[in-house]
Every structure is written in structure tokens, then in C-alpha cells.
Structure 1
Amino acid sequence: MEKWIPGAIDEQIEDYLNALQKMVRIESVEGNATPEAPFGNGPKQALEQALSIAEDWGFQTVSIDNAVGYAEWINDSMTNDYVGALGHVDVVPAGTGWSYPSFETTIENGIVYGRGVLDNKGPTMAVLFAAKLLKDSGQTFKKNLRVMFGTNEETGSKDLPFYLAKEQPPVYGFTPDSQFPAVYAEKGVVGIRYKTSFLKGDLDGLTAIRGDFISSSVPDEAVFIFGNGTEKTFYGKRAPSNEPQLGENAITMAVENLKDHSTLSFELQAFFNWASTTFHDKHYGEGLTSMNDLNISDMAIQITPYKIEIKEEQVIVEVSFRYSVDYTEAQVLSLIKESNFKNTTVEVIRSMPPKILDRTHPMLEIMKRTYEEVTGLDGTPIVTTGATYARFMPNIIAFGPSFPGQIGIAHNSDEYMYIDDLKRNIKIYELTLQEMLQ
């Protein structure tokens, strides 16, 4: 039985939804960098819009090199200590298969659809709205508050160094970019670039491969262009790269389909056969030659191929490996190297060890209490497969926005959140910030 606390949230929810609509309308996918827009014009516009909304709601705002910004509520001008909530306003590409306009908010049967509604514009604006309610309540607190807006979470979190070069981190804080209850640990992530060399002529049957390939998503489309000028498109289902079993990987579908293709050389067919055997529908390492050190049944390892290309007599494949907090990157690399195709080199292009917060930390107790107060559900902190801003910003952990059982929504077509869940987000964040500020 949920405990619901009515009040200003219901009275002002249209203000929140209007703000969310303004944010979703901006196609804030990473683009070409310029001196004025380090991650492209879309993310910059989304940052400017978030700061404009914050100013309309009575906050002071700061933009740092158009890479990251924040809305601030100062309770004590004599201290630099602040509680921080850190969300992001960049999004992944829309992909295919939408029933609704991807860069509009559509409300139907109490559900809001649109790219970024869940990941992460909706929750980020929910935190800002919760901060507004606290500010407007007339309460005073011992610490200052910042709601921070990043612009590069989806493609590497390269925005946070801009912030940390000029600002100190919060004393307490969270990122609303994962799930409930509070996340005390995030699994390790290692990104691998396989480079397989071929003899001259072996790749003549295939001239190019293209698609929307980003490390944070299972690819839903891959186009293979053959030497005779024809092309074949493979369609999958987009999903977050930390939940590969919920998607259908267009890359692995392609190599499975093409491993016996008569127009390709024997060597390329053999490579595609290896790639299919190793990765196609093998989300938990079943295709690796040795899994003695890891427990597949406990999902100790999760694998997502997310990019493939042909370049200078090489086929290059990039794969994300996520692994249990009980294991090390060295163990995972050992498994990878044992399972290589011939003439293949392995390069580590992303390395993030597990992020673990002491389970006795007072933040976790606050989050457990506020989550249970609003929902009536068990608030015991959890471990996730996500890779959030918590890995890069000190004193930040992931907290929300998805509730238990809600998986596979982010990065997919028809991304959505229930309006009632957005209201619960706002209330949880309002109570959590209230306690942290005290």
C-alpha cells in the first residue's frame, strides 16, 4: 500500500509538464564540437533551456563553458558547502519504431512519451521542481543547494571535468539517472576495441558499414554495403547497453545472417562466424571460451557489441563488458584475450572499476527513509549495472527515477514515464533534499 502525500505537486504539475515539454523538444544528441558548444549545438540548447526554466522559477544560474550548468539556491552565503543533484540534458538518438513524435511530449492515458522523458530530462526537471517547492515553502536550511545539468552523460561524461576544474563537488548528492531504491554500488565497465586485420582483397566483398552506434545503447539498425553496390539493412530493437537482453542487437543479427554469405571471402565469413558464436544472443559471456572464474547465472558479466566498421583492411568492433563488483577488470580481460579471433588485437578504450559506497553512509539512510515514506516499499540499497555520473562526481550516488520492475524503457522507442511516477519522483526528491539540507 503506497503512502501518498498530496499538496503543491498536484496543484502545480502543469508547470512541471510544460517545462518538460520545452526540454524534450530539443534534439540534444551529441553533435560536432565548436568553441561555443563543446558537445554540439543540441546539448548546448538544452542546457540553455534548463537554465532559463530555473531562472523563471527563481534560481540563480551559472553556465560553465556551455558544457555544464547549475541552478543554485543559497541558504547561507558564508559557506561553500552545498547539496547537489546532478542530471543530464543530452539524449541518445531517437532510433526507429516510434508510435509518437520522438522529440515532443505526448500524454496518453496518464503516460508521457518522448525521448528523454525518463533518461534523463524528466527526472532532472523533477529534481529542479522539487527544489522549487522547497524554496517556495519559506523554509531555511544549513546548506546551499545546486541542481546541476550535464550535457555529455550519454557519450562519455566528458562534461564533468569542465565543472570540477572550476567548482568543488557537493558534500552530499545524487543523480536521478538509474533506479530506486538508492544505488550503493555500480558494476565495473570495460570497453574493448577489437581490431582484426585481413589480407588485401579479403574485404572487397564489403565496402562499408553504417548505423547509429553509441556505447550506451544496443544498436537497432546496421547497414552493410557490399562490393557490388547493393546493401542490406538489419533492424533490431534499441535498449540500454546495461540491459542487452532487453534489446535485439542489429550488429550481431547481421553477422549471424552474413556468416555464410557467398559474396564474402572465406576469411570474412569465418570472422563473422566467430563474432556470431561469441556475441549473438550471448549476453552473459556464454560465447567466451572460458567462464570458469565468473558465475554466468548471477549475471557476473554482461556483454553489448555496439559498433562495427571497416577501415584500412581491418574490421573494428567495439564491445562493452560490465562485470560484478566481486571481480576485477584483469579477470575480464583474461577471458576476452582467450576468446579472440586470429590476427586480432584488443585495446581498452573505456575503463571504469566498480563504484561502491559504504553501506553505512548517512546518505543511504536518508534515501532509504524517504523512499519508504513515499512508496511504502523496501528501500534497502541495491547494486546496478549502470554507469552514471556517480562514477565521476565525488559524493554523488544514483537514486531513481525508475521503480522496481521498470526496465528497458530508456534508449528505446516510445520512451515513457507515468505521470503518477513523475509525481512520486518529485515527492521523494523533495523529502530527500529537505533532509540533506538540514
Structure 2
Amino acid sequence: MNLQELVLDYKNEVVKSIQDSVRIKSVQEEPLKGMPFGEGPAKALENMLDLGRRLGFEVTNFDNYAGHIDFGTGSDEEMIGILGHVDVVPEGKGWDYPPYEARIVDGKMYGRGVLDDKGPTIAALYALKAIKDSGVKLSKKVRVIVGANEETGWGCMNHYFGKLNMPQPAMSFTPDSSFPVTYAEKGILHLMISKECSENLNFSINGGVAFNSVPDSALGIFSLSIKDEVLLKLDKFNSEKEFKISLSEKNEKLELLSLGKASHGARPSNGYNAITALFHFLSTLNIEDLELKNMVQFFNQYIKMEFSGKSLGINFEDEPSGELTLNIGKIECQNNKIMFGFDIRYPVTFTKEQVIEEIDKRAKNTGLTLSIRSEKAPLYVPKDSFLVKTLMNIYKEITGDIDAEPVSIGGGTYARAVKNAVAFGALLKDQEDNMHQKNEYLEIEKLDIWLKIYVQAIYDLAK
């Protein structure tokens, strides 16, 4: 029986199931009783687990933190894992179609999570369904592990593997990156720099929705005392930029709205950071307010418009994973509190301590306090391992991309939550990467390749 042909029979069901999942807004919210990440993620998790039940698998929900879907009777020691997540980053603004409608237009399904990571997880689940229905016998158990807090802290995996001490698979993949195989993932640091001021600030700056997204807007509200200088310099500044800063007056205050382009925080060069752009412009002004002046000086001296962290002294680089990347994802400056958040992806041969030491020295010079919001250690699986070689061969055979090589990324996937795991798809080379951006979409025709790859991967790892 040809599994790659059989799995395509489920394509229409896959499309409907993705739509059902995307229509549940699963951005993290305030916890509720029995819903540690809020109502949306809990509903999305149960939706995915219920799909597993309807497809005929054994399913368990672990306190709405995570769940798993099992097929086969092999031992836990030899188990094959597939890790996916149902939570999503906030939708942001500017969508052409409602982000939680999963509307299909010209062969594309638009919606938050169609790529990251509801669509790929559901494709892998139906690939397992095809194997089940084929009657093919596997020698190893396959477990689809689904989390509800991947985007904002990994509390799901900490609960599942930490508190509950669930067994780790012998080898795993997560369909939460791009093809071919991601064998190295940079370390991730979400750092917060803050300052408590003795008096209320005479300005406010707010921008960004998440540390790990390049912000596409930032709004600064200032005293009218800088109006004349802004008028003198803003047109020239905007003339040299693709994305603009607009000026308006409201309630006897000056408002500067900086616009940019959103992107995943692991790929800051693919976007345009509205926060750093606003501070870049502010650095051209003669600012008298002391707190604002200190903030502008900090950005102008240490952040600039850089992606590498060079001015912070952290532009580290290595052969397996490349250069460090830096993104300022969020800022809040209002009342008597200043806070902004870093997303840093550092190379696999460096340590978090090396990064933190350099930033902390410079923060202290400006009277700012550095704290760690979250952290994830790097991942590295050798290219010549059985897992990497097997998945690479499958990818090459099905796509014809015979010159492909394993890759390293700055993104953080569930692969680093377990031993001997890699990210494997689902983004193909000719697909636009608009994860974490407006108008996230999935070309329906790409499901054919996704399904073929995942059904073969599960079979070859578990046969």
C-alpha cells in the first residue's frame, strides 16, 4: 500500500480541521480555574485532543496545560514523539481578512496559526491517521504531544515533562519551523530592562505585542515643547525611510506614531522595528526631559537599528548556528515606570551568562535594571545522526530538492523540550514566511507535500 497516496484522501478533512482550530482565538489570557493559560488556549487544546479522539486514537488531557494523542503499543523507551502547539501570538492589526475566520481566498487559507502551528500539527495527526487506517504495523508507539503555551513561556512543557515527569520519546520532531531539517537552534533569552522613576513621567511610549515579534507600531506622546524641532526634522527623516512616523496633536500633547513591518523575533531583519525607528528619530532632537533623554541616549548608544547586538557587545557568531540576533519587541513607558523587552537568539556554542554580562554592564551605566523574563538553552543534534539523516532523505525524495542541507535557526521550537529532537517543516522553500505577521496564510496545495512528508517520516521512524 502506498501511504503517500493514501494520505491525500484525507486532504479535505485536514482543511476543515485546520479551519475549526484557527477559529478558536488561542492567545494567552489571564488564568481561570482549570485553564492555566486562559479560556482560548484551553478550548484550542481540547479541540485538538477531541480531533484525536474522533480519529480513533487514545487521548489524555493533562490539566489543560498539554495533552497527548497515542497510537501503537510499543514501549515508552522507544517511543516516537511529534510535538505541536495550539496557542498563537496576538493577531495584531491590518489583516485583509479576519484573523480567526480561516477564510479561503484564491487557494489560500488566512488565519492566525495556519502555519504556526495548528496547520502543521493537524497535518501530522492526519498522517498518523492514514497509517492507522492502512493496517500497516509499526514496532514503536507514536505520541503526538500538544502544548498550549509555546509562544509565551513553555509552561505547558514544564508541567508535562517537569511536574508530571512524563516519559520523553526516544526521538522526536516538531512541525513548527521550516524544511528541510533544523538541526541547531540558538539559545533564547527574553530579557526585560526596566526603571522605577520617583515621579510620573512627562511622556509615554508604548509599542509591540510580544517579545518575540518585531513591532509594527509604536506610539509616543510628548510635551508640545518639542513640536517646532519635530516639524523641522520629521520630513527629512521620513524621506529616507520606507516606513514613516506621523505627527498629530491631541489633548495638548504631541503624538508620534511610528509604523514598521512585523516579523518573527528570530528573524528581525525581515521586518522593520517601529520602536527602534521611533528612538532613532528622537535621537535627532534636543530633548530636555531627563528621563526621556536617558532613554534616548541608551538606545542611541547601545541599540540603534542593529540586529546583531554589536553596540551592546554581544555580536557573537559560530559555525553551526551563525550570528546572534537582537529584537526589541515591546516597550512601555508611562506613569512612573519604564520597561522594554529584548528577544535575543544566541549561537549554540555560547552561554546565556556571556550575553547577560555584557548587557547588564551597559544597563547599569544608564540606571536601568536587567531581569530575565524567560530562557531556553540551545539545541544541537549532529547532522550525521540517524534522526537527521532519515528525515533529510525523506524530504529530498519527496520534494526533489536533492541539494538541500540541514539548517540552523534562531527560532525556538519544542524540539529543545526533549532529548534527540529536531524541527522538521512545515514551511517549504517556496512558501512565504509570514508567521507572527498579519495575513498569515497557508496555500492549500502545499498540504499535499506536507502530508506525504509526514506520513513517510512517521512510518520510517516507527516501522
Q: Say yes or no: TM over 0.5.
A: yes
Residue 314 of structure 1, CA deviation: 4.1
1:221-232 pair list within 5 angstroms: 221-226=217-222, 230=253, 231-232=255-256
Percent of pairs identical after alignment? Answer: 33
Q: Partners in 2 of 1:72 and 1:398 — Cα distance?
A: 20
- TM-score, normalized by length of structure 2? 0.85
Equivalent in the alignment of 1:50: 48
Q: Partners in 2 of 1:308 and 1:349 — Cα distance?
A: 14
Equivalent in the alignment of 1:308: 331
1:285-306 residue CA offsets vs partner (Å, 9 max, x unmatched): 2433x4686589x952210011
Residue ranges of structure 1 left out of the alignment (5+ in a row) = none
Q: In the superposition, relative to structure 1, how do residues 275 and 69 fare at CA in structure 2: closer, same or farther (>3 Å)?
A: same
Paired residue for 1:100, among 87, 92, 97?
Answer: 97
Equivalent in the alignment of 1:91: 88
Q: In the superposition, relative to structure 1, how do residues 15 and 390 fare at CA in structure 2: closer, same or farther (>3 Å)?
A: same
Equivalent in the alignment of 1:117: 114
Q: Partners in 1 of 2:314 and 2:159 — Cα distance?
A: 40
Equivalent in the alignment of 1:213: 209
The answer to whether 1:265 aligns with 2:289 is yes
The answer to whether 1:382 aligns with 2:407 is yes
Q: Partners in 1 of 2:419 and 2:426 — Cα distance?
A: 20
Give, as a single letter, the amino acid of the residue that structure 1 aligns with 2:331. I
Q: Partners in 1 of 2:50 and 2:57 — Cα distance?
A: 10
Equivalent in the alignment of 1:426: 451
Q: In the superposition, relative to structure 1, how do residues 268 and 131 fare at CA in structure 2: closer, same or farther (>3 Å)?
A: same
Residue 191 of structure 1, CA deviation: 2.4
SS at match of 1:7: helix
SS at match of 1:93: coil
Residue 37 of structure 1, CA deviation: 0.4
The answer to whether 1:361 aligns with 2:385 is yes
1:114-193 pair list within 5 angstroms: 114-164=111-161, 165-193=164-192
Equivalent in the alignment of 1:325: 348
Residue 258 of structure 1, CA deviation: 3.6
- Range with greater deviation from structure 2 (174-183 or 395-404): 395-404
1:136-190 residue CA offsets vs partner (Å, 9 max, x unmatched): 1111111111112110000011101222215211112111111111111111222
Residue 222 of structure 1, CA deviation: 2.8
Q: In the superposition, relative to structure 1, how do residues 183 and 358 fare at CA in structure 2: closer, same or farther (>3 Å)?
A: same
Q: Partners in 2 of 1:247 and 1:352 — Cα distance?
A: 23
Give, as a single letter, the amino acid of the residue that structure 1 aligns with 2:441. Y
Give, as a single letter, the amino acid of the residue that structure 2 aligns with 1:234. S
Equivalent in the alignment of 2:277: 253
Residue 6 of structure 1, CA deviation: 6.1
Equivalent in the alignment of 1:336: 359
Q: In the superposition, relative to structure 1, how do residues 306 and 291 fare at CA in structure 2: closer, same or farther (>3 Å)?
A: closer
Residue 265 of structure 1, CA deviation: 0.5
Consecutive aligned runs of 4 or more in structure 1 exceeding 6 Å deviation: 261-264
Q: In the superposition, relative to structure 1, how do residues 264 and 130 fare at CA in structure 2: closer, same or farther (>3 Å)?
A: farther
Q: Partners in 2 of 1:5 and 1:135 — Cα distance?
A: 10
Q: Partners in 2 of 1:322 and 1:216 — Cα distance?
A: 10
Residue ranges of structure 2 left out of the alignment (5+ in a row) = 224-250
SS at match of 2:81: strand
Equivalent in the alignment of 2:417: 392
Q: Partners in 2 of 1:132 and 1:5 — Cα distance?
A: 11
Equivalent in the alignment of 2:248: none
Residue 99 of structure 1, CA deviation: 1.0
- TM-score, normalized by length of structure 1? 0.89
Q: Partners in 2 of 1:110 and 1:292 — Cα distance?
A: 42
Residue 98 of structure 1, CA deviation: 0.8
1:111-149 residue CA offsets vs partner (Å, 9 max, x unmatched): 222110100000000100111111111111111111121
- Range with greater deviation from structure 2 (83-92 or 354-363): 354-363
- Range with greater deviation from structure 2 (351-360 or 99-108): 351-360
Residue 260 of structure 1, CA deviation: 5.8
1:274-294 residue CA offsets vs partner (Å, 9 max, x unmatched): 314533421122433x46865
Q: Partners in 2 of 1:193 and 1:363 — Cα distance?
A: 36
Paired residue for 1:11, among 9, 12, 32?
Answer: 9
Q: Partners in 1 of 2:17 and 2:95 — Cα distance?
A: 22
**Structure with the largest fraction of helix:** 2
Q: In the superposition, relative to structure 1, how do residues 51 and 324 fare at CA in structure 2: closer, same or farther (>3 Å)?
A: same
Equivalent residues of 1:220, 1:235 under 8 A apart = yes
Q: In the superposition, relative to structure 1, how do residues 6 and 283 fare at CA in structure 2: closer, same or farther (>3 Å)?
A: same
1:224-246 residue CA offsets vs partner (Å, 9 max, x unmatched): 34576745443322211001111
Residue 255 of structure 1, CA deviation: 2.2
Q: Partners in 2 of 1:267 and 1:100 — Cα distance?
A: 41
Give, as a single letter, the amino acid of the residue that structure 2 aligns with 1:38. P
